[in-house]
Structure 1
Amino acid sequence: MHRTAFAGLALLLLCGCGGTDPAPESKGTGTSGAAASPDESEAAEKKSSPRSGQAGSTAKPIPAAAAGIDVPEAEPPTLFTAEQLAEGWVALFDGQTLFGWEASHPKTGWRVEDGTIIADGTEPGLLLTSFEIGDFDLSCECQLEAGGNSGVFLHTTRNPSDPSADCWEFNLCDTHEKFPTGSMVARKAVPLDHPIEDGKWHSMLLKAMGNRLVAFIDGEQVLEYEDDTATPRTTGFIGLQMNGGKVKFRNVYLRPTGTKPLFNGTDLAGWRVVPGSNSEFEVNDGAIHIGNGPGFLETTDTYGDFVLQLEARTNAERINSGVFFRAQPGTEENPSNGYELQIHHGFAEGDRRRPDDYGTGFGTGAIFRRVPVRRVMANDNEWFHMTLLAQGPHFVTWVNGYRTVDFIDTRPADENPRRGLRLEAGHLSLQGHDPGTDIDFRNLEITTIAGGTAAAGTE
């Protein structure tokens, strides 16, 4: 993704000014837990389904809801501007539900009211992301009343007991004797220059880079910290804390950083056409164009645990494509043995909760044949943004910044992801699905997740 806007944002923050705010004003449990579906023949499934350009079928149930996933009827709030999407921001909080979050204690009372995450329970606790991550920018807003005690935990374990070893705890507590607001608990104290216990909303930007953290409150830098311990924390969960009183959070956004381009914008260096492909792969105006099909274009490098961000555009109605990952090397006989990040924007009866591509419906952002999306968030003939986090058996996807899937593959291990869980690194592959394929990809970037189960490599 384009990162050029970051330098200007950082300068504005240092000057205490506005600029491109990654936390627009608000307008308005847990991971899916969906089990992996039994293996089926993709070819047989797709032959019985509408092809690209054909009309949708009759009314369908809401597949994500059937899998026990929270799918609100109301449309989600607008989360990002086009510029913020281009900068790589995704939402950790969708403004409606706690989908993708895990509470460490049931009595902390985490809930959503009026587009806000609230906790005022009887027991302290954390609200944790479902996944771990290394380098990132975290933007959020917090409201804390007098006497409140909160914090944002970074690079944390699930159950941190020692803040000097188990996490980075960015404290939000004006009255803390040793580590007031803006400090890193048990690691670095700073003066209370930015009190926040006034019942007002305050913005925060936390930038985690390797063993370093730079933190801003209301646009002003309050902390710079370097973890120089023998075992510095460089990856882990993100957690919101209620440690006393009533705390509110909103506009909780994440931007993965440290990504590197997979596509240079001018030619297909680093990619190869899978033998037997009928698709045509060209570079036009800084994008990879795929026409005709079937066919596959795969990376020469392999990737295991990673965050992938890209933009794509279908150039006709009901175009079908996908991005395969952790795939075995493509051959003419087996061109695409990998997990598939689905691309198909069709939905039934005007209801974006009812993806209308194949079978019971999967939709753009789904892990095809494994778990459907909560909502179709993209449109044909428009550029859209996709983010995929793959971490061990855990896969999280976002489309236009909205979390569409949070899924754990519980199948027995198998080298072929069509048959079972694959943890080993594999290729990324762009799909030309059928003769009607007409799709563009651009700004493909990736970063590996440190400490993951499968490293990146070159075959």
Structure 2
Amino acid sequence: MKQPVLALFLAAFFAHCGSLAHAQQYEQLFDGQTLNGWKTAGGTAKFTVEDGCIVGHMAMNTPNTFLITEKHYGDFVLELDVKLEGANSNSGVQIRSYQTAGGQVRGKQVEVEPTRRAWTGGIYDEGGRGWLYPLDLNEAARSAYKPGEFNRIKVEAIGPNVKTWVNGVPASYVVDPIGREGLIGLQVHSIGTEVLVGKKVYFKNIRIQTKRLRPEPFPEEVHIVNLEPNSLAKDEKAKGVRLLFDGRTLRGWKSVRTGALPKKGWRVENGVITVEKSDGGESTNGGDIVTVGQYAAFDLWLEFKLTPGANSGIKYFVTLKEQTAGSAIGLEYQLLDDAEHPDAKMGRDGNRTLASLYDLIPADKTNWRARRPIGEWNTARIRVTPDNKVTHWLNGIKVLEYTRGDQRYKDLVALSKYAVWENFGMAERGHILLQDHGDEVSFRNIKIRKLK
């Protein structure tokens, strides 16, 4: 045998053996013929085996039904194919979940849905915290799902990190300290219409790897939701995310009034910054605080908690050049108890309500999941790209978008209280501000990433 031929033979041989070794690392969770190793939980919808698939049958008058593994899993890579009938149906894959004493299944779920919302691959906490990663946070993945076809779902759960892919497209990335082990489940969602009765969801090629796990890289542009307060995951650090609050002090912040740390009106306790309640007036107690640094294009993420009737705001592109008696001037992500504070009924078309660009653009909160109750932690995200496109999210759901400096923006400013300020909101860079509006509001997990 000639040397080149031998080299090609050996290369092919070892490549084949490598592929076999990789395949042998996976364990089949479904034998293609029976439901051995699985059991039904939650509701009363039926699961059968047809043509090498686990088939869930949608039925009326039953809550969500799950086919769950008898075994629990910690770290793993899970792969399976899913096909869903019905344009308005829904399903999901439970991971690291558990069954309650009452029989319900709780825990993280990888969403599968063919609806126009297109959140397949998003991560939901079934029976718990709700949406952890709505796919509004990664719009590039929303077109990965193929209606009426089998879709390849991949889940990587290593340590606190959970990543998902849909047909090879990176979808979600959550860092979650809660729930590091549990069952795997296949969902038949409850239905509220006779149109879906008898529709099916198919699962096949279900396999899991639990040994020799190595994290697969995720694109840098995919947002990471880190649910561990005031911390940075390794991948967050690698892409330039940094904390604006260390969880212990106000280092990196200063008073708008004095340029030093505020002497009253603000406190840091148990990993939380709180502006204290005073008289409900604008910047009349401790006053606003701003970051020492200034930012041009950026991605800002933080959690906030409102008290009943509270008013506050997150401002950006704050220059401190304007002379004002109240709060410093800047573009404002409104923080407000819409139901109790009168400001919600002022302005134009709701442009002073929660998550709005204050006095300019109302936030679209028609998706009821965007709003969490007063007294619970909510998340705000503000992203400004180098081309001046600005986006607001509330709890991971996109609520508004605009472009600084375009004609629409100029027209809105001309109709607002900001018309008196020349070139309002158009600074090249500025501080981030947390507002003192005389009401108790708390903040934590404040992070920023500079964009280029």
Give TM class, smaller chain.
0.3 to 0.5
Quick check: which one's helix share is greater?
2
* Structure of greater Rg: 2
TM-score (norm 1): 0.46
In the superposition, the TM-score normalised over structure 2's length comes to 0.47
